[in-house]
Amino acid sequence: MKLETLINNTPESPGRIFWKGFKKNKLAVCGTIIITALFIIAIFAPVIAPYDRDAINTKEILTPPSKIHLMGTDELGRDVLTRIIWGSRVSLLVGFVAVGIATIIGIPLGALAGYYGRSADGLIMRFVDVMLCFPTFFLILAVIAFWEPSIWKIMLVIGLTSWMGVARLVRAEFLSLKERDFIQAARALGGKDVRTIFRHILPNSLAPVLVNATLGIAGAILIESALSFLGIGIQPPDPSWGNMLTAGKDNIEIAWWLSFFPGFAIFITVMGYNMLGEGIRDAIDPRLR
């Protein structure tokens, strides 16, 4: 090999290596396309939606899918497709905010437990154990019902009850990273704890957190739709895929389309995030396949 080629071949940055692996991964690309499409739909909902979201039409109650109403109409004669398009806003918002909250709580707790060990670790991990022993869904149900459901409360409560996974993950990463030579070196050079944690350890432990967060969004969307389905999530007339399914259940013997389409929307969205999460995981660490 010539000297020039050697010199010109600067090593690839981690970001580029990740991007290369990501592009090749069919799952990740599919996931990205689905999620992007959903964002476009959610942002441009008022433009895309064929009908008025809340317009009640007593002449067209529970009409099956047709050319006029592609996904039929509901028990008040509202267009199902229009309401599904508007409902995407709820799902996207809930997913991101809830997981954001969980990550913001989980990272510092996991970092503290993993870095300092001893009593900090003991205390934090016991608290994690307590939270893991709850039938979480029961707890969420009680809290939301008591505090009068609203989208912000739902996101907050889902976030507050789902940070344990992040904390455990970050803790495990910290436990193994802090013994590594480059961290030991940073400490030996007299680096402060705060700097070691945020500058040296945390960036190296973010990959699994990112995967976990992507999959967590899917989980949060499922919980929100289940709550709305049970009537204690997003309240009608605001459309969410979950509360549309409630109408589907009430009319299950006469209107299958009311049950089918909103659920299908949840399914596709959740699958999109799962694909993206798995794709990122593969791109980061091909061994895990």
Partner 1 sequence: MVKYILRRLLTMIPLFLGITIVSFLVIHLAPGSPVTIQTDLNPKMTAEARERLRKFYGLDKPLHIQYYNWVKHLVTLDLGRSFSSDGRPVLDKIKERLSITIFINILSLLLIVLVAIPLGIFSAVYQNSLFDRSTTVFVFLGFAIPTFWLALLLMILFGIHLGWLPISGLKSINYEYLSPLNQLKDRAAHLLMPVLISAFGGLAGLSRYSRSNMLEIIRQDYITTARAKGLSESKVIYKHALRNALLPVVTILGLSVPGLIGGSVIFETIYAIPGMGQLFYSAVMMRDYPLIMGELVIGALLTMLGNLLADISYALVDPRIRMR
Q: Which residues bind partner 1 (CB under 8 A)?
A: 126-127, 129-139, 141-143, 145-147, 218, 222, 225-226, 229-230, 245, 248-249, 252-253, 256, 259-260, 263-264, 266-268, 270-271, 274-275
Shortest Å distance, C-beta 185 to partner 1: 32
Residue written as tokens 């402060």?
192
Shortest Å distance, C-beta 267 to partner 1: 5
Residue number, 50 or 122, with CB nearest to partner 1: 122
Residue number, 98 or 183, with CB nearest to partner 1: 98
Shortest Å distance, C-beta 132 to partner 1: 7
Shortest Å distance, C-beta 193 to partner 1: 28
CA atoms of 73 and 257, how far apart (whole Å): 8
Residue number, 42 or 247, with CB nearest to partner 1: 247
Residue number, 183 or 244, with CB nearest to partner 1: 244
Shortest Å distance, C-beta 55 to partner 1: 26
Residue number, 31 or 106, with CB nearest to partner 1: 31
Shortest Å distance, C-beta 146 to partner 1: 4
Give the chain as a DSSP string.
Answer: --HHHHHH-PPPPHHHHHHHHHHH-HHHHHHHHHHHHHHHHHHTHHHH-SS-TT---GGGTTPPS-SSSTT-B-TTS-BHHHHHHHHHHHHHHHHHHHHHHHHHHHHHHHHHHHHH-HHHHHHHHHHHHHHHHS-HHHHHHHHHHHT---HHHHHHHHHHTS-HHHHHHHHHHHHHHTTSHHHHHHHHTT--HHHIIIIIIHHHHHHHHHHHHHHHHHHHHHHHHHHHHTTSSSPTTS--HHHHHHHHHHTTTT-HHHHHHHHHHHHHHHHHHHHHHHHHHHHH-GGG-
Shortest Å distance, C-beta 135 to partner 1: 4
Residue number, 104 or 252, with CB nearest to partner 1: 252
Orientation angle between helical segments 80-116 and 118-133, nearest 10 degrees: 150
Residue number, 50 or 286, with CB nearest to partner 1: 286
